Amino acid sequence: MEGCGSPYLTWHHFDPPWRDRQHHEPEGMVALCRTHHDAADQGAYTTEQFREMKAFGRDRAQVLAGRFEWRRLRLLAVVGGSFFYETPIAVQIRDQPVVWFNRDEEDHLLLNVAMPSTIPEPRLRIEDNFWIQIGDPVNLECPPSGRLVSVDYRNGDLVRVEFFEVEDGEALSKRSAYADNPRRLLEDEEPDGFPVTVVEIRMRVMAPVLDFDAQETRIGGLTMKGTLIARGNVGFSLG
């Protein structure tokens, strides 16, 4: 969609519409962000407009790719006051990855989220930047920049994944939650590791309470923080 460019997409079936026939025919499908998909479901666009969107999207693919060069940098995940450098699975509960990253053929990061829940209600699921389900959130934030995905639910469950770039170790240390720990990690691990993309992951799952932000992890009455891992497979693992 012109003026959008969000990297988080869903498939909209327009020819024929999904309500008329459930199909997966590429010529009758277009990839849209959640906001424009909702508008499409409400009849905001014609079949001819969707065909024009598909052609326009192909022509501007390279232009859009330049917007997301920060997704090709090396990754530092910040989870509950711990730091995981170039570790593909940032959060795992038991044997199930909860927040993890793959890379496409051009080395861009692809976000995956499989949010857990202690109640029988669907929660956020994203697979390689594609929305699979969101459940019934009270708040959903996902601006076109691709730097933020944030979802809140009525019972207090939430997940927030936010990306930003840092140019050097000094800029990294200026963030109050970090002090010098991740700076030393990166400079020791890879002296030319900057610039780097930092992803801060915030999650709360109620009953039992699992709650972590950039500063610390809280599990019931237990508080944890300060782990440093470089080039592992799994960062934060519970159970």
Classified as helix, coil or strand, 115 is coil
Q: Which amino acid is at 156?
A: G
DSSP codes of every residue in 2-52: TT---S-BEEEEBTTBTTT-----GGGEEEE-HHHHHHHHTT-S-HHHHHH
What's 105's DSSP letter? Answer: T
- CA distance linking residue 88 with residue 100, whole number of Å: 6
Classified as helix, coil or strand, 74 is coil
The tens digit of pLDDT for each residue in 62-120 reads 556 667 889 999 999 999 989 999 999 999 998 999 999 999 988 999 999 999 988 89
pLDDT-derived band at 61 (thresholds 50, 70, 90) equals low
- For the chain, which residues make up each domain, given as ranges? 10-67, 69-238
- CA distance linking residue 227 with residue 152, whole number of Å: 27
165 - beta bridge partners?
197
Query: Is the distance from CB of 32 to CB of 40 less than 8 angstroms?
Result: yes
Say what the pTM is.
0.88
The tens digit of pLDDT for each residue in 29-54 reads 998 988 888 899 888 999 999 998 88
Say whether pLDDT at 208 is over 90. Answer: no
